Structure 1
């Protein structure tokens, strides 16, 4: 899908600020100048600037123009030098084993460094995520570890933290337009290896089950699937892709939709689900549709769905947690070198599993 014109203007301005071409306090070209430069209407250029002002990236002064916002470091008079650091951890859910393992690792490595923790579960609500960030800022926390909710765009409060250089590490997500600290599993390589293995085993008709692509995780996993086919010179049949919107999943209708979808795909030989929840729905659907006839498709998943004999991609969550806390500690010590760290994953075939 082609990027909206106002978004292109915004992204260019963000890149110029991030690269240092536009410093804090620099004057931004006028709406008229931007309209001429990008070949758009003045209304479009005005909307672009308005959006960046709302984000807090730019500031307008009547009669003077629009400027890059000066960096303001909030005062924390109640935090004395050398006092124990307080870290806010914001997670979208605690429903899965992955969520629980991740929080366990983060808590353990933070405790090793003597950090106090404040934890908030947003229940996949971007509004709650925004409120949590603001409330923790008001309490004067020293740093943030945030696993963003599954939404099409990142919370403006997260963007603001990154731009203001507040100690922050994003977990399992990364900002494409702004440099920020983040740690994620190797979603792309993991799915590419899994699908390549299925193809090597003779599975040419592979269904792909995923939430709609709204963030870097779902995007990378979809691209890993495509890469495996392209490397073999095989066509990608997207009629075999079942992309579930977030509302359908949140309302508990994911299983029903997967049953409906797979009922129309009698010729598939394998099903790949991008997370454990969808894998469990697919497992139910396969039993319901094929009824153990012996020709049911091979199911595979990203993350362990707790189903015997199902190959899956295993994340190294302890390594993810350790790296997150290391990057946060780096920032708390005064260093600011934003980067993304990617942790390798492991493709587990049934023969590698211990069922004893």
Structure 2
């Protein structure tokens, strides 16, 4: 595409090729159904069909009408290190006999625009580098993240860019990479106690921006909510920024407004009316909410509508993720974390390490930790605080 954006059908194709290349799917295995791929990537049937048709023409799949798509026997040849698939968009180990030209990226998923924009930034930076690019997904699982790291090392990757999973403890495979001084850059989620090259958005400043925006609109009962472990440094930073902003505004910090000790089943079709977040909204305890991820913003919006309320007339919402492919069509006021810039800088940092091997053996206090300044983009999900009637 002319603007450099990766077509979504190609993202789906790269995912399927990756599953085959890494041995997760073997010849003869049935892959995900069209419906499952539609749900996973949140796209139309025609987009999925185009992706599968292209892979069938390339020899990766067999499509049997009424039964589904299966990995073709030819895929063994396509994933053979000595015979990479032409134009596949994914690299095989030791392409052209040289295993040192592969850079691996591990993301939790690519089902949202946040990850896709970060992936775009990395792709752009690596385009003219001479390195091939292998994307693997952890599905936010520590075990799959560890397996992805081992697989990329087996393929002979020269360096890795890792977006760590949300977990209470870090992955030991990442610690192993650090101890062995393997070229590595961590993005978005900083790991406490493990000094590595890190590039991400400034979470403290991001929360301050969100609080200040809502405060200027007259909101005083501002809740912040997250469904990921508090031990994740990114979440700690955002909570710290929330409390810092309230202190600067001369407001008392109400622990009841920090909604972090719960789990949300996003796959559940019906809302759980006994869930703490549902009851919190129902009881009108806050006039504004800051959600620490876009999925929760959508879930919160469902709750508000279910209760017969409206956003932003009754409740304002600020989220950390831009849920739209562009600013022009965005409903939610959001924190722009400049994820494409984060991805680009991470790739450039890794390339710099690979070009100058001496930097890999540097002392720990020289690891580069770069925080990108976030910005708030106002939209229609926030408005002046509604006037509440006295009891």
TM-score in same-fold range (> 0.5): yes
The counterpart of 1:162, out of the listed 164, 178, 192, is: 178
2:118 matched to which residue of 1? 102
Which of 130, 138, 141 aligns to 2:154? It is 138
In the superposition, relative to structure 1, how do residues 189 and 254 fare at CA in structure 2: closer, same or farther (>3 Å)?
A: farther
Gaps of 5+ in 2: 1-93, 361-365, 383-391
Query: Match of 1:297?
Result: 315
Q: CA deviation at 1:148?
A: 0.7
In structure 2, C-alpha distance between the alignment counterparts of 1:90 and 1:189, rounded to whole Å: 26
Distance 1:113 1:140, change over 3 A: same
1:266 and 2:284 matched: yes
Which structure 1 residue ranges, 4+ long, deviate > 6 Å from structure 2?
78-83
Alignment gaps of 5+ in structure 1: 1-77
Residue range with higher mean Cα deviation, 259-268 or 80-89: 80-89
CA contact (8 A) 1:185 1:320 kept: yes
Q: CA deviation at 1:309?
A: 4.7
What TM-score results when the alignment is normalised by the length of structure 2?
0.64
SS at match of 1:303: coil
Matched residue, 1:68: none
* 1:276 aligned residue: 294
Of residues 223, 243, 259 in structure 1, which corresponds to 2:260?
Answer: 243
- Quote how far apart the aligned CAs of 1:316 are: 1.1
Shift, 1:89, TM fit: 0.8
For 2:181 and 2:342, how far apart are their aligned partners in 1? 22
User: 1:127 deviation in Å?
Assistant: 0.5
- 2:370 aligns with 341
Secondary structure at the residue paired with 1:296? Answer: coil
Does residue 1:151 correspond to 2:151, yes or no? no
Paired positions, count: 275
CA–CA separation in structure 1 for the residues paired with 2:186 and 2:330 = 33
- 1:339 CA displacement: 1.7
Number of the residue aligned with 2:26 = none
Counterpart contact for 1:310–1:350, Cα < 8 Å: yes
**2-structure distance, mates of 1:329, 1:308:** 34
> For the structure 1 residues 242 and 252, does the alpha-carbon distance in structure 2 shift closer, same or farther, using more than 3 Å as the test?
farther
Instruction: Quote the residue 2:336 is aligned against.
Output: 314
**CA distance in 2 between partners of 1:135 and 1:293 (Å):** 45
Contact 1:279-1:305 within 8 A present in 2 as well? no
- Superposed CA deviations along residues 258-301 of structure 1, whole A, max 9, x for unmatched, are 65233443142211111111111111111222434985111111
In 2, Cα distance between equivalents of 1:250 and 1:288: 15
Q: Is the 8 A contact 1:179 1:338 kept in 2?
A: yes
Q: CA deviation at 1:144?
A: 0.4
Aligned-residue CA RMSD (Å) = 2.9
Secondary structure of the equivalent of 1:148?
coil
Aligned to 2:140: 124
